Homo-oligomer: A and B are copies of this chain.
Amino acid sequence: MSKKAAIQRAALELFVEQGIDATTTKQIAARANTSEGNIYRHFSSKDALAETLFFDHLLPFLEALDVAVSSREHMRDRLAEVVRIFYRTFDEDRVTFSYLLLSQHQHLAKFTESAETPVTFIHRLVQHAVAGGEIRPLEPMIATGTILGTILQPATFVVYGRLDPPLIDYAETVVDTIWRALAPD
């Protein structure tokens, strides 16, 4: 692994474990087996590192969501794909998933305001489904909340040891539950 990649991985882990503020460049360097100075050869600042980490993982994730959804026509199938993507990502790399989807980043708020995020992605999905009569005529943001909340809360529970992984085992149940909540009468 290149030093740059080692720094990224070390930072990602520490940011998730402790939060960005509580993580020091010294800790990152130590875990990446390099020097503090070297971090600055690869990243212009700790904040830039945090931001890079965010978008480097967010874009492929959104891309995966996009591909999966495009491959299906019906909302229920699309939801099933979405849940599978979320949970497969979680099971494969819990740290990245947590950084992207569970952490509260006051830091990143400024960037995510304008950009595409999982929230805007699902919101669009919902709007389309409501328009097509595929789900109940709910305020789209409420439906989005139901979907995201129902998907993410179990992930939080695994992180805090309240639920046993892998999450993919719950995918079908979660999809079914969401669908019951949103399906037209």
Residues of A within 8 A of B (CB): 17-19, 21-22, 102-104, 106, 109, 113, 119, 123, 138-139, 141-146, 148-154, 156-157, 160, 162-163, 170, 173-174, 177-178, 180-183
Contact = CB atoms under 8 A, between A and B. Distances in A.
Given A149-B148, A181-B180, A139 B18 contact: no
Copies in the complex: 4
A152 B149 contact: yes
A21 B180 CA distance: 41
SS of A interface (majority): helix
A142 B152 CA distance: 10
A149 B163 CA distance: 15
Nearest to A113: B160
Contact of A138 (B19, B143, B145, B177): B177
Contact of A145 (B119, B153, B181, B182): B153
Nearest to A119: B162
A142 B157 CA distance: 9
A145 B150 contact: yes
Contacts of A160: 109, 113
